[in-house]
């Protein structure tokens, strides 16, 4: 049996469309009902509220309560709909604002972007399997890499983004853990955020960059 992403133990996002139906008169006391027969969202809306001429439908991104990213809608009743209603089914639910008609349009696992401290990266790099399973990207310029570098990092200079950016999903696997490093952690953060938009599932920004790695973990690494 194929599981919905919302049944997996990882952060999930759902896209829903919803509209408030203030004139809806329901005899059911249930706060959530799922319509089983197939129909479009707009046709359901018109059938339940025929007097309305409104086409005011809103699309929202719902985040399960693992985290609450800024800009993501957090309405508990909508969350219940998003993670219990089958994809493309139409449901109705009640909030403090009234009755709503909703449809789950899609879902996906939420991607992860977080800092990794130099000492934690160092521990991971001691594992022989780490370099096989992870993707390591250094976005500094070639002249910087010539001064100081860490083994296993592939150099993709940020200034040359136009040459490697369009092919990044062909060169790297978005499903693998990806670690991004620069001198102090700022350029790498820009690239890490961009990788998220390209569908990379788990992206780690090396906090403080190679400078922090050299000063806090391995003094044999030159600083500049």
pLDDT band at 104 (very low <50, low <70, confident <90, very high): confident
Q: In the predicted model, what is the mean pLDDT of the chain?
A: 79
Q: What is the pLDDT of residue 12?
A: 58
pTM: 0.58
Mean pLDDT for the stretch of residues 29-41: 57
Question: First CA to last CA across the chain, in angstroms?
Answer: 55
Q: What is the pLDDT of residue 29?
A: 47
Q: Please tell me which residue, 145 or 12, carries the higher pLDDT value.
A: 145
Q: Please tell me which residue, 194 or 69, carries the higher pLDDT value.
A: 194
Q: Please tell me which residue, 129 or 75, carries the higher pLDDT value.
A: 129
Q: Please tell me which residue, 213 or 79, carries the higher pLDDT value.
A: 213
Mean pLDDT for the stretch of residues 159-176: 93
Measured CA to CA, the distance from residue 53 to residue 152 in angstroms comes to 61
- Residue 182 a catalytic site member: yes
β-sheet bridge partners, residue 100: 20, 93
Give percent of the chain above pLDDT 90.
43
Q: What is the pLDDT of residue 168?
A: 94
Measured CA to CA, the distance from residue 177 to residue 175 in angstroms comes to 7
Write down the catalytic residue from 104, 136, 182, 203: 182
Q: Please tell me which residue, 213 or 101, carries the higher pLDDT value.
A: 213
Query: Residue 187's closest CA among 161, 167, 213?
Result: 161
Q: Please tell me which residue, 167 or 12, carries the higher pLDDT value.
A: 167
- Which tens digit of pLDDT belongs to each residue from 168-214? 999 999 999 999 999 999 999 999 988 987 889 899 999 999 999 99
pLDDT of residue 33 exceeding 50, the answer is yes
* Annotated domain spans of the chain: 5-109, 112-216
Q: What is the pLDDT of residue 99?
A: 80
pLDDT of residue 86 exceeding 70, the answer is yes
Measured CA to CA, the distance from residue 82 to residue 90 in angstroms comes to 11
Q: Which CATH architecture has domain 112-216?
A: 3-Layer(aba) Sandwich (3.40)
The torsion angles phi and psi of 209, rounded to 5 degrees, stand at: 65, -165
């Amino acid at each position: 049996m194929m599981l919905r992403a919302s049944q997996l133990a990882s952060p999930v996002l759902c896209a829903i469309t919803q509209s408030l139906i203030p004139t809806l008169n329901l005899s059911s006391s249930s706060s959530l009902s799922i319509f089983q027969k197939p129909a479009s969202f707009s046709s359901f809306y018109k059938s339940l509220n025929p007097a309305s001429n409104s086409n005011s439908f809103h699309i929202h991104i719902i985040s399960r309560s693992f985290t609450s990213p800024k800009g993501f809608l957090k309405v508990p009743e909508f969350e219940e709909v998003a993670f219990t209603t089958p994809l493309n089914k139409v449901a109705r639910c009640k909030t403090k604002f009234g009755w709503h008609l909703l449809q789950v349009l899609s879902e996906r696992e939420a991607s992860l972007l977080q800092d990794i401290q130099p000492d934690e990266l160092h521990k991971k790099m001691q594992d022989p399997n780490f370099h096989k399973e992870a993707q390591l990207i250094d976005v500094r310029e070639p002249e910087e890499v010539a001064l100081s570098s860490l083994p296993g990092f592939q150099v993709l200079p940020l200034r040359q983004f136009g040459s490697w950016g369009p092919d990044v999903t062909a060169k790297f696997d978005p499903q693998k853990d990806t670690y991004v490093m620069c001198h102090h952690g700022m350029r790498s953060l820009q690239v890490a955020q961009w990788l998220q938009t390209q569908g990379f599932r788990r992206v780690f920004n090396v906090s403080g960059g190679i400078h922090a790695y050299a000063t806090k973990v391995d003094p044999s690494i030159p600083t500049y």
